[in-house]
Amino acid sequence: MQIDLSRFRAAFFVEAEEHLQQMETELLQLETTPKDSELLNSIFRAAHSIKGGSATFGADVISKFTHILENLLDRLRNEEFDATPELVELLLSSVDVIDGLIRNARDNEPLPAQFEAIYEELIKVNSKGSEVSAQPTAVQATNQPGTKTRFQIRFVPSTNCFEFGTDPLLVVREVKSLGTITKFVVDSSRLPSLPDLDPEHCYLSWLIELESECGKQAVEDVGMFLDGESKFEVTELEQAPQQVEVPTPEIDEPTPAKSKAESPKSQPVAQGKVAESETVRVDRNRLDVLINQIGELVIGTSMVEQDVMSLTDSMPPESLSALGKIVRDLQEMSLGLRMVPIASAFQKMQRVLRDLSKKLNKQIDFITEGDDTELDKSVVDQISDPLIHMVRNSIDHGIERPEDRIAAGKSPVGKINLRAYQQGGNIYIQLSDDGRGLDRDRIRQKAIERGLVQPEDALSDSEICNLIFRPGFSTAEKITDVSGRGVGMDVVRKNVEALQGSVTVTSEFGKGSTVTVRLPLTLAILDGLLVRLTNEVYVIPLLSVVESIAVDSSAIKEVVRVGEVIQLRGEVVPVLRLHHLLHIDEQSDVNQQILLVIVEDQGRRFALRVDELLGQQQVVIKNLETHFRKVAGVAGATILGDGRVALILDLLGLSSISTHEATLPQSVTN
């Protein structure tokens, strides 16, 4: 039987990344609690899992590197070393190297630049022996480096171990890698006659004697991932090998003819396995296809309801309404399958803050709230980059140096708070610091120097603060490897907009700043306001809608270099004629009332002129760029209940088109 390993290899890479993330998080915790044995055990298990998986799929470089790391972690567990800040730094660098090695094996990326240096450093530390240990322990006395201990290992795989993905020969090879095998006995007493032999069952077992410098715990850990019915028993032998006879292993496993219920030991194990199988790893592409098909089902159901209503000129029958409710419930449930806690993205920020604060000699407390807030998996994956830039900006530009904070009457230790919460159909992520805040005068001056604004432009506090999101903008005096190139917050804005969200900043000079990111719960469904322009229907994201108003045509004024505007409660709001921007023939005004939808994006408000409001509706987003080029002002499309296609408007794109046209000479725009 030919087994396609590519699918399992891909699963290994996914699991390895999860183990690396776990290791990084727990190593950061180890800095503050260096004596936590549970943390060390968990870190060791994660490294052991990566090592075993990489050896299985032929990633020998990963396996070799992780083996050296695993030895060091084992000695840490045995208290031969102390978890000093320098050693934790080395372990964190090792995690970075393994991450690079995984990308090398998966994507053929170059080997990480620090691979050889970290590998040699791990060997060097491993070879130091007990002189680096503060206090020798009983474990060290029996397992000093260079002193070999003899172990007897009785390995009896369960007959159905293959069902759990276990290869007994890999376990045996793992034992061999720990030292020298002096006895190797294969027991075939469970092997049935040929007619009764099941090729998918394992009938062999092994009795192995091993001489190794590793401790007993390291040997026992080889069998940590076996299923509950398999046996992996490790016994430390006496010093004289001639006193030990190799008995034939007594196999008390149930024979293939017996049921699992007849084995008293199998019952509690079976209960444990139920808990382990409560989660199932599903390929994201399959999940996306499922959600897309359910979205099509929702559209189809709406179309049927519309057809029935048009034919009968009445409300659809109760059975069809019940079907529609079931379909919508199914849609909500399917979308819930992609929801994951944002904790994974938050945990990455801990490492960024640790490394950068050390580099800049700043003391910072990092506090996270709402780690369990759930968000669409695709959004969580894509929000990491914006968060990294936000955290780096807050550390570099926001938090002052300890001496500057003391001079300003503050604690020398700065605070950065990263918070997530759900409100309505949106997720809000706020990054706050108690640093120096934004210097509005300096920001304005820099913007004028770079030609981003004109000296005569009247800007509100909010508009000045939001200048930091403009491409190329930076207030840094010199360019460093941390900041000064003006791309950080620009990346934040672009990435957030790509997620159909928005970002704003508020600040008080001398007291700190808060950057707020607003995101939709999911990218597959959009709450939209349906509007009519002549004979076409368009969708405005409800996330950005503030209000809708009807005004007299006389209320709209013309301003040079700005275009049409309206004064709304003392605020001058630009008016965008959607007909003009989207090249639609505009109907002549029958009455003097004009309908405007007030929207807000990136801290700016503007009014969209429309012909009619059709109501609020959840729509399934369809990406147009798969078949068409990018169209400015259009974010996607959806299919309405009557079968018509409605374009979803990109407010930032429309605003950019309008701004560009407003700055052109009148002869060009006419």
Residue stretches of the chain with pLDDT short of 50: 1-3, 130-145, 239-277, 479, 484-486, 663-670
Give burial (CB, 10 Å; 0-12/13-18/19+) of 43.
buried
What local confidence, expressed as pLDDT, does residue 603 receive? Answer: 66
- Asked about 48 being catalytic, the answer comes back as yes
Catalytic annotation on 41?
no
Residues 38, 76 contacting (CB under 8 angstroms): no
CA distances from 29 to 86, 350, 511, 668 (A): 14, 10, 29, 62
pTM for the predicted model, two decimal places:
0.63
Kindly name the residue from 70, 79, 229, 253 that is annotated as catalytic: 70
CATH homologous superfamily for 148-192+199-239? Ribosomal protein S6/Translation elongation factor EF1B (3.30.70.60)
Taking residue 407's Cβ as centre, other Cβ atoms within 10 Å add up to 10
pLDDT at 661: 57
Give me the sign of the Cα torsion angle 586, 592, 597, 603.
Answer: positive
Quick check: 531 and 522 in contact, CB under 8 A?
Answer: no
- Alpha-carbon distance of 235 to 244, in angstroms, equals 12
413-444 confidence digits (pLDDT tens)? 999 999 998 876 678 899 999 998 888 888 88
Rounded-to-integer distance, Cα 416 and Cα 383, Å:
18
Residue 539: count other Cβ atoms within 10 Å of its Cβ: 24
CATH topology classification for 340-520:
Heat Shock Protein 90 (3.30.565)
Helix (H) or strand (E) holding 105: helix 85-107
Candidates 48, 67, 389, 397; catalytic one: 48
Q: Which CATH topology does 5-136 take?
A: Four Helix Bundle (Hemerythrin (Met), subunit A) (1.20.120)
Residue indicated by tokens 């046996």:
231
- What's the pLDDT tens digit per position in 308-323? 877 777 777 778 878 8
The catalytic position among 71, 78, 143, 393 is: 393
Cα–chain-centroid distance for residue 373?
13
Fold annotation for 525-669: OB fold (Dihydrolipoamide Acetyltransferase, E2P) (2.40.50)
Q: How far apart are CA 528 and CA 540, in angstroms?
A: 5
Classified as helix, coil or strand, 194 is helix
Q: How far apart are CA 487 and CA 440, in angstroms?
A: 19
- Does residue 15 have an active-site annotation? no
* 138-163: b (≥16 Cβ within 10 Å) or e: ebbeebeeeeebbbbbbbbbbbbbee
Separation of alpha carbons 295 and 301, rounded Å = 10
Beta strands per DSSP E along 237-363? 339-341
Query: Would you list the domain boundaries of the chain?
Result: 5-136, 148-192+199-239, 284-338, 340-520, 525-669
Q: What is the pLDDT of residue 476?
A: 60
Number of neighbouring beta carbons within 10 Å of residue 512? 23
What's the CA gap between 198 and 330, in Å, rounded?
42
